[in-house]
Each structure stands twice: as structure tokens, then as C-alpha cells.
Amino acid sequence: MQQERLLAETLPPIPVRQSSPAIEPAVTMVSVKVEDWDGGPVARPTAPMMIRRSRRIVGHVPWQWRLIVAGIRLTRIVRKSAKQQMKQFNKLQRQMIRRVLPRHKAMRGARAR
């Protein structure tokens, strides 16, 4: 904490960025004296390292697994189709109800729309 405060005091103020310059300004390197350091390795908090795993190279896929995957895909397709049909049916149903029922404040004795 004290080192951070010392560094903040000795470093020059950070210039305010202008609105997206076409060419980046030159970088200025600044060295800072720190009296507390004994020359040993600097202890930094280690962040957990992200491990990038390459995709597994697929060897032989058993027929049972292929059948399961095909079943899942078919189920999704059927569900999507059923959803679309239900949507169309509900739309037609609403249209029929609109034709049959009278308007909100229909005149008495007037025929329904």
C-alpha cells in the first residue's frame, strides 16, 4: 500500500486522452526509485491462468451416440414445427373470434362485424 502511494506520488500525472487521435503519441519511459526493495524477486499476486484446450480430435463415434444425437436434433425440429403451427392456429383462431364477436361498444341491434 505504501509502495503504491510512493509510486503514485513520483510518477508524472497521466495525460487526458483526446478523442481518438489518428496517430498514437510517443510513449515516455519513466524510472522510479524505490528505497524499500532489497533486490529480491518481486512478489505479485498470481491470477489464475486460463488454460486453452484445443478441441478433442474425434476418433470413432459409436452408433448409439449418433442415434442419441439424431434423436435430439429431430426432437428440436419437431418442437419448432409444432410451435410454428400453434402460432398459425392461434392467429386464425383470433381472426375467427374477431369476426364473430361484436366490437367493444357495438350499437344495440346492430349486426356483428
Residue 91 lies in a domain: yes
Residue 87 lies in a domain: yes
pTM of the model: 0.37
Residue 46 lies in a domain: no
Look at residue 86 in the predicted model and tell me its pLDDT. Answer: 97
Residue 34 lies in a domain: no
- Expressed as residue numbers, the domain containing 87 is 62-100
Q: Hey, is 43 helix, strand or coil? A: coil
16 pLDDT tier (thresholds 50, 70, 90): low
C-alpha 76/C-alpha 88 separation (Å) is 18
C-alpha 65/C-alpha 58 separation (Å) is 13
Residue 69 lies in a domain: yes
Taking only the tens place, the pLDDT of each residue in 54-98 is 777 778 889 999 999 999 999 999 999 999 999 999 999 998 888
Residue 85 lies in a domain: yes
Could you identify the residue written with the cell 356483428? 112
Domain count, the chain: 1
Residue 93 lies in a domain: yes
Taking only the tens place, the pLDDT of each residue in 20-40 is 556 766 778 777 676 776 777
